Amino acid sequence: MGSSHRRTSVVIALVIALAFVAALAAACSAQATGGAAVTPSASDAQSSSSPSSGEAATASAKGAEGDWARVLKALGFMRAVTPTRPVVVLLGGSAARESTISDESWRAQIVDRGGPSTLAWNMGSRNRTLAQNVAIVKSLPRGAHAVVFIGVNLGAFTSTQKTASIKLPSPLPTESPSLEQPHQYSTSTGILSPTKKKALVQAWIADRYPVFKRSFSTSAGVLETLIKTCKARGYKPVLFELPRDTAIIGSSLNAPTARFRDRCKRLASTHHIPWVSFVTAARLPNQDFYDLWHLVEPGRTVWQNLLSAKTAALLKAYGYDGGGS
């Protein structure tokens, strides 16, 4: 009986451990839905997770629902009130959303770094697909002087979605949305331990790497469509690598990372647009990340400083010297 009980206990412990890793992987990986004409808010609602899977207690109020609504309101606002300043947009999933402090401080830093007054928006939101980014770009105001940072990471290449549609608020809002960023992760709520983060690396390899391989060609094609859409509308696209916790990941994800980076560099060269990466230059330590991809406060400060300086330099290079209010 004693031996039997011990075997049962071991089995139960293994099941619990596997369930924990799976929950973390689900919470921290982009589970993008393939198909056409998918409304992003629907996929956001379906993928929201409970605090037990690693989300902050305020996630449902400030993140999984609020980030997408804020994007739509910002787009609607720029349709209702024609911008007289250059527009700067950061596109991407939740890793992009967590990479800046706030739009207010980002705008101020651009000016401090010698750039013009702008309408800078971090439009990152949970589980974003590249197809949804195309829809966002099509909703930006025509004729605007716009720099579009296209945030890319491993998760950006895990969707087979080719087209998407979005619906702006009606009536269009004439007041700007809040310039505060709807963060879900914070040092105040804690970060995952190195052991849990290393488990996430192995979970990504087991669960997401096969999806990455299946989806890569389609995702890369949509990325090129996104670049072409920006250029056709007169905007300045920038391929921009999003943060990752290299201190924990090490060389474990070298193969898929090299694959998407190489494709991005080729696309940048083909379309004569910048490829920008701060992953090495930022030198972010493990404690600056909640998990493998999402920055918390110290990391955001470093990352936004680098982004503000680059934004100011690009705006000046493109001759976007600002204007009215």
Residue extents of the structural domains in the chain: 2-317
Interval 133-164: pLDDT, tens? 999 999 999 999 999 999 999 999 999 999 99
pLDDT of residue 322: 55
Secondary structure, 3-state, the chain: CHHHHHHHHHHHHHHHHHHHHHHHHHHHCCCCCCCCCECHHHHHHHHCCCHHHCCCCCHHHHCCCHHHHHHHHHHHHHHHCCCCCCEEEEECCHHHHCCCCEHHHHHHHHHHCCCCCCEEEECCCCCCCHHHHHHHHHHCCCCCCEEEEEEECHHHHCCCCCCECCCCCCCCCCCCCCCECCCCCCHHHCCCCHHHHHHHHHHHHHHHHHHHHHHHHHHHHHHHHHHHHHHHCCCEEEEEECCCCHHHHCCCCHHHHHHHHHHHHHHHHHHCCCEEECCCCCCCCHHHECCCCCECHHHHHHHHHHHHHHHHHHHHHCCCCCCCC
pLDDT of residue 10: 40
Residues of the chain with pLDDT under 70: 1-65, 322-325
Domain 2-317, CATH homologous superfamily name and number: SGNH hydrolase (3.40.50.1110)
Interval 166-207: pLDDT, tens? 999 999 999 999 999 999 999 999 999 999 999 999 999 999
